[in-house]
Amino acid sequence: MTDYVQVTTATETREEAVRLGKSAVAARLAAGAQIIGPVGSVFWHLGELGEGEEWQLILKTAVDRFPDLEALLVAEHSWQKPEVVAVPFVAVSKHYGEWISTTVTATA
């Protein structure tokens, strides 16, 4: 395992995914963000089976930055209970890990 995680959330629009990504990267809570979509989604919501399209936001950060990144995503997200999931990197190349570390520890 490494000290890095990939954090994902989903949004209703591409614009919101871009806004959240820019906010996280500008605050140095993530080294980078990728936006994928639209993606199909099936889910339970308010007791009903739902289906729709979402945009996935993927952020790369150091594990110790996750609490602050999570707080930013929850505070700035349009949904009341957004998905915010961190998955640890099993391995990462030396230079990529150094880039993440340097980026998220630099002064915003």
Alpha carbons 56 and 5: distance in angstroms, whole number = 16
Kindly list the structural domains of the chain, giving each domain's residue range(s) and its CATH number in brackets, ordered by start: 4-42+49-103 (3.30.70.120)
Q: What is the mean pLDDT of residues 78-97?
A: 96
43-72 confidence digits (pLDDT tens): 998 899 999 999 999 999 999 999 999 999
1-24 confidence digits (pLDDT tens): 679 999 999 999 999 999 999 999
44: left (phi over 0), alpha (psi -120 to 50) or beta: beta
Closest of 97, 84, 107, 104 to residue 31, by C-alpha = 104
| Amino acid at the residue 67 | P
Res 108: pLDDT: 58
Structure tokens given for 33: 């963000």
pTM: 0.92
DSSP state of 102: H
